[in-house]
Structure 1
Amino acid sequence: MKLTNIKKILGLIIVFSLLMTIVGCAKKDEVTPEPTPSTDVETEEPLAEEPEEPAEVIEIKLAHYAEIGHPADLAANEFALKVEARTNGAVKIIVYPANALGTPDEVLEQNILGTVDMSLPTQGHLSKYSQKFSTVMLPFAFEDADHVYRVLDGPFMEWASPDLEAQGLVFLSNWDWGFRNITNNKRPINTPADVAGLKLRTPPEIQLQAAMEALGANVSQIAFSELILSLNQGVVDGQENPLSVIYYNNVFEAQNHLAITQHVYNSMVNVMSKEVWDRLSEEQQMILKEESTNAGNEMRKMMQEQEEDLIGMLEEKGMEVTYPDKTLFKDMMQPAYDRIAEYAGKENVEYLLKIAEENK
């Protein structure tokens, strides 16, 4: 091959190599576009917003006298939970059971004065401020629990609740406490004659004293805190109370005989300070009313379901149970009615008996 041809070929090779180098450098300088995110990739969920804290938390002290574990205490704690949940923590009810803040009368007085926000007095406690409430405890005024509820939840509270407002209290709902029955250490009670001569303890309410004295009993007023000791020491032969009180306070340890007389009914009444009530919004007031009624109805249900069970449990504890004819006892109550009318007002007694008859 001629030298000139070889030189031409070498020249072409050099030119080609230079061109390839230039192209490679150009490609390195190109900007690679960012990849587009795939729509199949899960994106992180935004964090859920925490519920806002209420601007103001209203704490309500609810004091009552029932023992821990009693249906009233269970209902009170459920009431507190429901109110706090439905108000998103803006209203908190703190429950003080078993006379933790004082006796029932002391707690009601504190409620009226505003140092306790809410309480569960009976009609007997409320009667010190309105004589209308004392008529509920007329002996043998009601046939059964359903009869009681028709009267108390309807015409009675329409008649009596304005008297609570005059004391600075707001009526929320009726709860329960139950019919009262007699226990003693001397003998079974089958007729009114079996009550005659017994030394019986009653609370200070005139209705209970009058009913027992109309049957011929010798009545003593003894503080409930001293009751068991008084029974054990023979200061009194017996006492009268609802079945739940007899069981939950271990009265059976000091008594042999139980008579299902159901001579007087009384119940807890859920009331609260109007000053605290007025601090609540309309919605919060509605919630308190609704949940108080729900709690009261739940307590009533528990009390009724427990009645037969409690009698059986008291029998297991050694008590002899009798079921006297209540009409024989009611026939002896006129002296009691006369005494109660002097205390509560004749017109008040007549009105309670009227609405009781109309709602049988």
Structure 2
Amino acid sequence: MENDTKVLKLAHGLDVNHSVHQAMVKMGEELGRLSEGKMTLEIFPSQQLGTERECLELLQMGSLDMTKVSVGVMENFAPKMKVLGMPFLFRDRDHSFLVLDGPIGQRLLNEGQKYWLKGLGYYDAGSRSFYTKERPVESPKDLKNLKIRVMESVTAMEMVRELGGSPTPISWGELYTSLQQGIVDGAENNPPSFYLSKHYEVCKYYVLDEHTFLPDVLVIATHAWNKMSDEEQKWLKEASEISIAYQRELWAEAEKRAIEAVMEAGVEVIVPDKSPFIEKVSGFYDAYQQDSTMNTLIEEIRNTN
């Protein structure tokens, strides 16, 4: 019967044109197929139910079942995840996938469980780079006196500070206006987010320094997970894995299209020499010398082949 269908409520902050939203729609379709209609997703995009942090809090309260958040926000609830936001940690995208889909990534997904948050997998959010209004950030010295919007992430704030800028946490929904009004001088994000948010209308310089490969995390509330039968958990896990593989394909295309589109709109896209940036954040890693857990994780990640 229709009313026997288990409906999982999933909210996120992204536009419906974003690859993550499209992949979630796919996950809902797959969940319906695998469960033969016994389970389905109801999706609330575009911050309808709040910011990423607010959605996580709704999961903890039991008012929402699933969400997607950046690792940068998730680290507030699963502290070891902050390792994934360390600048220039991954050699390239393939290296990041090896880590995320392997034992280290899986261990980190379980980190939030004591806060009632269980990670199901990682969507590709590409690499984050700086974009600015007045001048390009081609080397760390160009960040001096610039207010750069960052997520509510201690790691992101530390990184921008280490590179010489002034980190300014502002919610994603308020950023366009903040850039327009000069509350901040720039921000940092991946190409599709830069494009879909229309921030390129205000910021005409995009410097692909690729300082972090910061994935998105698909999260389910432990209260919702624990209420499911083994079979239901299996259906959801399989649907999420199909969704993640699909999103990563879409992402690669979206990234390419986004770069082309912003260039057409008059944005100067610059590929800088990364070595001054890498050198400048060496102190960032020194700060973790006393933290044996973080040090071990960093070494494990760097040695993943």
Give the TM-score range, shorter chain.
over 0.9
Q: 8 Å contact 2:51–2:171 — kept in the other structure?
A: no
2:257 to 309, 317, 334: 309
Take 1:203 and 1:162, find their aligned partners in 2: how far apart are those partners?
A: 22
Take 2:202 and 2:3, find their aligned partners in 1: how far apart are those partners?
A: 53
Q: CA deviation at 1:261?
A: 1.1
What amino acid is the match of 1:109? Answer: E
Q: TM-score, normalised by structure 2?
A: 0.93
Q: CA deviation at 1:156?
A: 1.8
* Matched residue, 2:211: 263
What amino acid is the match of 1:347? Answer: S
Take 1:126 and 1:218, find their aligned partners in 2: how far apart are those partners?
A: 22
| Aligned partner of residue 228 in structure 2, secondary structure | coil
Deviates more, 1:176-185 or 1:267-276: 267-276
2:92 to 144, 158, 162: 144
Take 1:232 and 1:155, find their aligned partners in 2: how far apart are those partners?
A: 43
| Residue 204 in structure 1 maps to residue 155 in structure 2 | no
| Aligned partner of residue 291 in structure 1, secondary structure | helix
Q: 8 Å contact 2:73–2:151 — kept in the other structure?
A: no
2:178 to 230, 238, 241: 230
Number of residue pairs the alignment of both structures matches: 305
* Matched residue, 2:302: 357
Take 2:217 and 2:147, find their aligned partners in 1: how far apart are those partners?
A: 30
2:292 to 324, 347, 357: 347
Take 2:71 and 2:113, find their aligned partners in 1: how far apart are those partners?
A: 15
In the alignment, structure 1 segments of 5+ residues that lack a partner are 1-52
* Matched residue, 1:12: none
Q: 8 Å contact 1:119–1:270 — kept in the other structure?
A: yes
Return closer, same or farther for 1:287/1:228 CA change in 2, 3 Å cut-off. same
* Matched residue, 1:82: 30
* Structure 1 residue ranges, 4+ long, deviating more than 4 angstroms after superposition: none
Q: CA deviation at 1:56?
A: 2.6
RMSD across aligned positions (CA): 1.9
What amino acid is the match of 1:275? Answer: H
| Residue 160 in structure 1 maps to residue 108 in structure 2 | yes
Take 1:202 and 1:158, find their aligned partners in 2: how far apart are those partners?
A: 26
Take 1:233 and 1:168, find their aligned partners in 2: how far apart are those partners?
A: 38
* Matched residue, 1:29: none
| Higher Cα Rg, which structure | 1
| Residue 191 in structure 1 maps to residue 139 in structure 2 | yes
What per-residue deviation string (whole Å, max 9, x for no partner) do you get for residues 21-71 of structure 1?
xxxxxxxxxxxxxxxxxxxxxxxxxxxxxxxx3783211001111111100
Return closer, same or farther for 1:224/1:274 CA change in 2, 3 Å cut-off. closer
Take 1:278 and 1:222, find their aligned partners in 2: how far apart are those partners?
A: 34
Return closer, same or farther for 1:61/1:355 CA change in 2, 3 Å cut-off. same
2:268 to 320, 338, 341: 320
Q: CA deviation at 1:195?
A: 2.4
| Aligned partner of residue 260 in structure 1, secondary structure | strand
Q: TM-score, normalised by structure 1?
A: 0.80
Q: CA deviation at 1:192?
A: 2.2
Q: CA deviation at 1:257?
A: 0.4
| Aligned partner of residue 66 in structure 1, secondary structure | coil
What per-residue deviation string (whole Å, max 9, x for no partner) do you get for residues 306-331 of structure 1?
22221111101110010011222111
Equivalent residue runs for 1:61-140 within 5 Å:
61-140=9-88
* Matched residue, 1:297: 245
Take 2:227 and 2:146, find their aligned partners in 1: how far apart are those partners?
A: 51
| Aligned partner of residue 337 in structure 1, secondary structure | helix
Return closer, same or farther for 1:227/1:355 CA change in 2, 3 Å cut-off. same
* Matched residue, 2:187: 239
Deviates more, 1:110-119 or 1:67-76: 110-119
Q: % of aligned pairs identical?
A: 28
